[in-house]
């Protein structure tokens, strides 16, 4: 499970990173809003632990920005702002849970486990974007309600984009997700060309956007 910690206090950030890593979580630690934006644009996370008082901005504004841009990762706010009004505001702005500081590490773990259980329970079996419908259980894809024949690799590639619609995915992230350990990312271009041929022929506008030197985006 991948967790993003957004916390500017070095001692607390290091403590959380070490503790979660020892519990077998894969942890990324960001200390500013800018680092958090970069981390989330690079890859998705199963949970985000978000402090509100950051050196280059407010965590609530960052949360609003994420929700506005379609990022739906579960967010647990960690903050010394512990009034009822603060908690209500955080939850209303898109947080999934709120844990006031100070807290025990075991309590934090319980909140994280709760977030992950809820996230697992609501995962969609069918993903839809524009005129594309991808059925994870049936392993089928439809475009304008017409079946599209995809290979297993093409299906896996499309699933990554459908799970991250609107997000810019780097070449390295996509390639590592489909072909773990493969250094040559040129194979990605071949599969992207195949997907485009199958999905863009009957669409008025492009389905995928290429960002040269960076990656691709499902638009």
Domain map (residue ranges) of the chain:
2-121, 126-218
Considering the domain 126-218, what is its CATH architecture? Answer: Orthogonal Bundle (1.10)
d(Cα 73, Cα 50) in Å, to the nearest integer?
12
pLDDT of residue 122: 54
pLDDT of residue 211: 92
d(Cα 219, Cα 216) in Å, to the nearest integer?
9
Task: Please tell me whether residue 133 adopts helix, strand or coil conformation.
Answer: strand
Share of the chain above pLDDT 70, in %: 94
Average pLDDT over residues 126-133: 89
Instruction: Please report, for residues 2, 27, 31, 134, the alpha-carbon distance to residue 181 in angstroms, rounded to integers and kept in the order given.
Output: 19, 20, 29, 27
Task: Please tell me whether residue 124 adopts helix, strand or coil conformation.
Answer: coil
Sign of the Cα torsion 89, 90, 91, 92 reads: positive
Average pLDDT over residues 168-180: 83
User: Residue 124: which pLDDT band, with cuts at 50, 70 and 90?
Assistant: low
Residue range 2-121 in CATH 3.40.50.2300: yes
User: Residue 203: which pLDDT band, with cuts at 50, 70 and 90?
Assistant: low
Average pLDDT over the chain, rounded to an integer: 89
Q: In what order do the strands lie in the sheet with 146-148?
A: 126-129, 132-135, 140-143, 146-148
Task: Please tell me whether residue 43 adopts helix, strand or coil conformation.
Answer: coil
**pTM, to two decimals:** 0.61
């Amino acid at each position: 499970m991948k967790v993003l910690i957004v916390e500017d206090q070095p001692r607390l950030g290091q403590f959380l990173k070490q503790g979660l890593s020892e519990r077998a979580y894969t942890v990324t630690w960001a200390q500013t809003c800018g680092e958090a934006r970069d981390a989330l644009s690079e890859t998705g996370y199963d949970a985000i632990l978000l402090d509100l008082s950051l050196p280059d901005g407010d965590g609530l504004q960052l949360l609003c920005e994420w929700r506005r841009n379609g990022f739906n990762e579960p967010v647990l706010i960690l903050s010394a702002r512990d009034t009822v009004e603060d908690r209500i505001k955080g939850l209303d702005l898109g947080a999934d849970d709120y844990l006031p500081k100070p807290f025990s590490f075991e309590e934090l773990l319980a909140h994280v486990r709760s977030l992950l259980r809820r996230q697992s329970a609501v995962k969609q079996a069918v993903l839809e974007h524009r005129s594309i419908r991808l059925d994870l259980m049936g392993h089928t894809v439809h475009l304008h309600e017409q079946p599209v024949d995809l290979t297993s690799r093409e299906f896996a590639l499309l699933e990554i984009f459908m799970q991250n619609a609107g997000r810019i995915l780097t070449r390295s992230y996509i390639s590592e997700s489909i072909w773990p350990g493969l250094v040559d990312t040129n194979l990605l271009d071949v599969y992207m060309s195949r997907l485009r041929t199958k999905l863009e022929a009957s669409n008025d506008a492009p389905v995928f956007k290429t960002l040269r030197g960076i990656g691709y985006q499902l638009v």
